[in-house]
Amino acid sequence: MNAAAMEQEYQRPALTQLSDEEELFRASIREFAEGEVRPRVEKMDHDAKLDPELIAQCFDLGLMAIETPEEYGGAGSTFFNAILAIEELARIDASTSVFVDVQNTLVTNAIIRYGTDDLKKKYLPQMAASKVGAYALSEAGSGSDAFALKTRAVDQGDHWEITGQKLWITNGNEAGIFIIFATIDPAAGYRGITAFVVEKEFAGFAVGKKEDKLGIRASSTTELILDGCKVPKENVLGEIGKGYKVSIETLNEGRIGIGAQMVGIAQGAYEAALKYTAEREQFGHAINQFQAIQFQLAEMAIDVETARLLVYNAARLKDAGKPFLKEAAMAKVYSSRVAERVASKAIELYGGYGYVKDYPVEKYWRDSKIGAIYEGTSNMQLQTIAKLITSGK
């Protein structure tokens, strides 16, 4: 296909230009975030727990089933709208953002893509109405080397029996539905990995220790303990031995969600710094009248907008059915760097006030650090990008 034909086939939209529907959706999420999330942020961060009333509101507003088809009780919307929601929530609170993110871009996404009709009919309506999802891949010795997992699934004839331990599981305390990755044959390497849908009430399943974290403190991060957990045969997600495909493809999309979360954090920190520097006076002037401050704000604005362009580009490509692996990795790496850099600069612009919990910017910085770690570390993303560009893709 020549260049002209390719251009005719796919007209790339202006990345930050939103349709009227997208603008309306963004506005509705921002109103919710400002009105319902912001008043709860300080207490949730202090208590290291999401407000149960806020969780219920996320379901009532349809935020937990943005892409879920209407026939299963969802909004039947786009991946891009899910990205807008994640960004807008992170602008106020990253914990609420990642709570919604994991539900949409990982758990629901995996069931929509790989679930049988029966699994979709059983679990998607529950997740649209009230059930929180969690995605359990990581283990003590299986982080970046995701396929070194030790959790074992044994075929017991009429059911599977899973034994092992999962770590660093987001939404662990709130979730009722888990996607668990286990190997049916350790000697087969990644070809033995299989994905299962596990309910919290299944015999042999338990939620363990909750981690005490630097940032995103209201988001629960827990261990999961599977001690001969009995899972029905029909709860295999995708094909037996093809769990690696489920994990790779869902995480590729999930990384765009993390990118959106980081853009939201950066935007929130930037806005806080912009407001503070207009109010803070030194030497008889608001400090934003000094060129040194203005230049720093300008650099922050450039960083935020550049990160947003990368994230939106990856999301638009995904919705258009185009390859987006490289773009998703770029978006995650760069946006996580931007979030940390902008939040750190915001602390400096606040001076001593930026270093105390009475003001918002120290939390943005704490929340930003996880972006370089979860759903694929920055080093792993760089490896992906390097492989793709050196192979001419």
Say if residue 88 is in the same domain as residue 209. Answer: no
- How much is the pLDDT for 62? 98
Length of the chain: 393
Residue 94: pLDDT band (50, 70, 90) is very high
Whole-prediction pTM: 0.95
DSSP 26: H
Domain boundary among 76, 105, 132: 132
Q: What are the tens digits of pLDDT across the range 179-201? A: 999 999 999 999 999 999 999 99
Q: Which of 132, 154, 188 is the last residue of a domain?
A: 132
Q: Is 144 domain-assigned?
A: yes
Residue located via tokens 């009780």: 73
> 316-344, pLDDT tens digit by residue?
999 999 999 999 999 999 999 999 999 99
Confidence of residue 350 (pLDDT cuts 50, 70, 90): very high
Calculate ∠ Cα 259-261-264, nearest 5°: 110
Same domain, 276 and 370: yes
Q: Do residues 256 and 360 both lie within one domain?
A: yes
Tokens of 125: 């309506």
Residue 393 has a pLDDT of: 76
Alpha-carbon distance 212 to 369, whole Å? 15
Q: Is the domain of 87 the same as that of 145? A: no
> Which residues are catalytic, by number?
375
Q: Are residues 306 and 321 in the same domain?
A: yes
Mean confidence (pLDDT) of the chain: 95
Residues 71 and 144 in one domain: no
- pLDDT, tens digit (0-9, with 9 covering 90-100), for 235-287: 999 999 999 999 999 999 999 999 999 999 999 999 999 999 999 999 999 99
The verdict on 257 and 368 lying in the same domain is yes
Assess if residue 224 is contained within a domain.
yes
Residue 317 CA to residue 290 CA, distance in Å, equals 41
Same domain, 306 and 340: yes
Give me the domain span that covers residue 179.
134-242
Q: Cα–chain-centroid distance for residue 249? A: 14
Per-residue pLDDT at 13:
52
Give the count of domains, the chain.
3
Residue 344: CATH number of its domain: 1.20.140.10
pLDDT score recorded for residue 6: 43
DSSP sequence for 185-251: -GGGGGGGEEEEEEETTSTTEEEEEEP--SS-TTS-EEEEEEEEEEEEGGGEESSTT-HHHHHHHHH
Q: How many CB atoms lie within 10 A of CB 375?
A: 29
pLDDT, tens digit, 9 for 90 and up, residues 296-317: 999 999 999 999 999 999 999 9
Which of 132, 154, 189 is a domain's end point?
132
pLDDT tens for 101-152 read: 999 999 999 999 999 999 999 999 999 999 999 999 999 998 888 778 999 9
For residue 1, the model assigns a pLDDT of: 44
β-pair type (285-286, 281-282): antiparallel
User: Is 332 within the bounds of a domain?
Assistant: yes
What pLDDT shows up at residue 15?
66
> What is the number of other CB atoms lying within 10 angstroms of the CB of residue 2?
7
What pLDDT digit, counting tens, does each position of 27-58 carry? 999 999 999 999 999 999 999 999 999 999 99
Answer yes or no: is 160 within a domain: yes
Whether 140 contacts 165, CB under 8 Å: yes
Residue 144 confidence (pLDDT): 84
Q: What is the CATH number of the domain that holds 207?
A: 2.40.110.10
| pLDDT band for position 14 (cuts 50, 70, 90) | low
Percent residues over pLDDT 70 in the chain:
96
List Cβ neighbours of 324 (8 Å cut-off, separation of 6 or more): 252, 256, 314, 317, 318
